[in-house]
Structure 1
Amino acid sequence: MHESDTEVTGWLQEWQAGDSVARDRVLARLYHELKRLARAALRQHSGHDTLQTTALVNEALLKFVGSRAPQVNDRSHFCSVVARAMRQILIDRARHKSAQKRDAGDSLLSLDVLTEADLQLNVQEPTQLLELDDLLEQLSTLDPRAADVVSLRVFAGMTIAETAEAMGLHPSAVNRDWAHAVEWLREQIEA
């Protein structure tokens, strides 16, 4: 663990104990990393043209700043939790858009959305994002770790190495979960 990671871990513990100065230190130190995650999440999802990177980060952080500190172990775990919050924000926005466009002929999720090289999303319609979210919810009941891997890779744009670090796993375990999850998703989409 790097010295700065140890420092952030200490601040996270202080924040969990109620120290708002520690909270501010965590947010200041990790803000650029969180913006990178937000850029990746927005890049994965066309259709969020009105949502800017900074707005997504700030909206995700508001979930934590006004309430108790998230119960996280370290920097990677915190980033993973914020990435999940970003995913939920994007899903909520997609649900809202979908409700506005109900019966407008939105296309269903297809294998074209998933490229062969990697599970890169090219979601054009809110209903596709909602369908992927529903599939991930189903996967999470069968294999929660694989669903978390997909969520971090797809919605947060993390690499295998970053996902492994965030989840405290070896990269080969993340690769196995990734391959399993992609195959399961493909089977569900084809069905």
Structure 2
Amino acid sequence: MRDLTSILSAVERGERQAAEDLLPLVYAELRRMAARQLSAERAGQTLQATALVHEAYLRLVGGGQAKDWGGRPHFFAAAAEAMRRILVESARRKARLKRGGNGRRLEMPDDLPAPSAPIEDVLSVDEALDGLAARDAAAAELVKLHYFAGLTLDEAADVLGVSPRTAYRTWAFARAWLFRKLRSEDEFRQTPDSG
């Protein structure tokens, strides 16, 4: 059996057999990533880790379009991004259908490797990430890699092609920016109407 890097290269070239060979090699890690993202969900959550893995995998290798992952770290970063988008879509669908869109604030703790909030909070983080991306796209990408993909800051620096020192500095900025953004949204929601 070929190694992961050669299979990823073959998938990037559009080889159908390589896409079939890829899943057994990455399934366990993708399952851990999905479980980490779903670990703090409320009881009754309908999205299971297995379904999240399969949907993300289909988004990554399905469609017959050539992808350029640039190796193992980039592939898992792309997988984490796909999972994040699936969770956001699910949260938006649930908020629209059941809850009227009322989100809650999610604090960004110091020792993040994975989200630890109910799925409704995914919307708040997603909106805040969009705002951060408008201000500093590289900082938003670093948050996605570290927070959602569970990469260390050193691994994320490698994926982004920056020095670890730059990654740590960017992480400090991004964390502070997101904390202020999420806190100000929470304060806005808690302000009683004066009319």
TM-score (norm 1): 0.81
Aligned residues: 181
Deviating more after overlay: 149-158 vs 77-86: 149-158
Uncovered stretches (5+) of structure 1, i.e. residues with no partner: none
Aligned partner of 1:13 in structure 2 is 9
- Change in Cα spacing, 1:135 to 1:95, as seen in structure 2 (3 Å) is same
Partners in 2 of 1:27 and 1:115 — Cα distance?
33
More contact order relative to length (CA 8 Å, sep ≥ 6): 1
For the residue of structure 1 that corresponds to 2:14, the secondary structure is coil
Aligned CA-pair RMSD: 2.5
**Percent of paired sites with the same residue:** 34
Larger radius of gyration: 2
- 1:42 pairs, out of 35, 38, 45, with 38
* Aligned partners of 1:15 and 1:69 also within 8 Å: yes
Following superposition of structure 1 onto structure 2, how do residues 78-117 of structure 1 map, counting pairs within 5 Å? 78-103=75-100, 106-109=102-105, 113-117=107-111
How far does residue 129 in structure 1 lie from its aligned partner after superposition? 1.8
Residue 120 of structure 1 and its aligned partner are, at CA, apart by: 6.0
Write the distance in 2 (CA, Å) between the matches of 1:74 and 1:121: 25
Taking the aligned partners of 2:6 and 2:114, their CA distance within structure 1 comes to 35
- 2:74 counterpart SS class: helix
Q: Is there any run of 5+ residues in structure 2 with no aligned partner, and where?
A: 185-195
1:93-118 per-residue CA deviation (whole Å, 9 max, x = no partner) reads 100111123448x35315xx333554
Q: CA deviation at 1:180?
A: 0.7
User: Within 1, Cα distance between the matches of 2:144 and 2:172?
Assistant: 14
Q: TM-score, normalised by structure 2?
A: 0.79
Is the contact made by 1:83 and 1:155 (CA closer than 8 Å) also made in structure 2? yes
